[in-house]
């Protein structure tokens, strides 16, 4: 469905430009958009490589495991169905730690591993467990304390103060995470 919406928007834009006699505007926009896309993609590739390397170092040095241990009391409250020493708890906490550090690209493989581990504990294999739902909701709401990707994108676009959004992001993601958690808990009572 979304493909049809995008096609309609693009086709109608080209049609309006053609009827208005300004088709060159479309060509200029395509070239400018392609240049911006490549610039952003190259900047993100460097960022992903850097943070993936940092995450690998953090995992091999035990820093991520330490962060997961630090977050364990929170994990027990958020995921009461998951045994504290089960690999699922470690995977969930590692993914959440990556999210808190604003490393969405590193969080993705950790999140997939966490869902695999949670599925092993799931008594009903064709339905998501409460812990799986909570994990998805909290990951999607994405509490972020250090938005590394956003800061890098702002720096790549020439921002004079790329980190000035940190306070706003912390506030917004705290609100979204709290709302997601509360909705998750309320909906659990009905299902």
pLDDT for residue 171 is more than 90: yes
Mean pLDDT of 63-68: 71
d(C-alpha 180, C-alpha 174), whole Å:
10
Between 153 and 92, whose confidence is greater? 92
So what's the pLDDT on residue 55?
66
Give the model confidence (pLDDT) of 32-62 as tens digits. Answer: 989 988 887 887 777 667 766 776 787 788 8
d(C-alpha 107, C-alpha 100), whole Å:
9
Full-model pTM? 0.67
So what's the pLDDT on residue 105?
67
Whether 121 contacts 109, CB under 8 Å: no
Total Cβ atoms within 10 A of residue 25:
14
Average pLDDT of the chain? 85
pLDDT for residue 135 is more than 90: yes
Greatest Cα-to-Cα distance within the chain, rounded to the nearest angstrom? 67
pLDDT band at 6 (very low <50, low <70, confident <90, very high): very high
DSSP letters spanning the chain: -HHHHHHHHHHHHHHHHHHTT-HHHHHHHHHHHHHHHHHHHHHHHHHHHHHHHHHHHHHHHTHHHHHHHHHHHHHHHH-TTS-TTSHHHHHHHHHHHHHHTT-HHHHHHHHHHHHHHHHHH-SSTTS--HHHHHHHHHHHHT--SS-HHHHHHHHHTT-SSTTTTHHHHHHHHHHHHHHHHHHHHHHHTT-
Give the model confidence (pLDDT) of 79-129 as tens digits. Answer: 988 987 788 888 888 888 878 877 766 677 888 888 999 999 999 989 989
d(C-alpha 151, C-alpha 50), whole Å:
14
pLDDT for residue 134 is more than 70: yes
| End-to-end CA, the chain | 29
Whether 133 contacts 190, CB under 8 Å: no
């Amino acid at each position: 469905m979304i493909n049809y919406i995008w096609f309609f928007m693009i086709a109608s834009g080209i049609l309006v430009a053609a009827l208005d006699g300004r088709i060159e505007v479309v060509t200029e926009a395509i070239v400018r958009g392609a240049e911006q896309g490549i610039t952003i993609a190259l900047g993100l590739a460097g960022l992903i490589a850097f943070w993936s390397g940092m995450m690998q170092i953090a995992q091999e040095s035990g820093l991520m495991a330490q962060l997961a241990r630090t977050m364990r009391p929170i994990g027990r409250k958020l995921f009461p169905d998951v045994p504290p020493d089960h690999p699922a708890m470690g995977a969930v906490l590692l993914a959440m730690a990556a999210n808190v550090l604003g490393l969405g690209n590193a969080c993705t493989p950790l999140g997939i591993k966490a869902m695999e581990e949670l599925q092993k504990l799931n008594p009903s294999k064709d339905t998501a467990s409460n812990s799986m739902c909570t994990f998805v909701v909290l990951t999607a709401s994405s509490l972020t304390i250090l938005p590394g990707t956003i800061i890098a994108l702002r720096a790549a676009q020439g921002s004079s103060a790329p980190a000035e959004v940190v306070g706003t992001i912390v506030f917004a993601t705290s609100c979204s995470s709290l709302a997601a958690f509360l909705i998750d808990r309320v909906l659990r009572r009905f299902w």
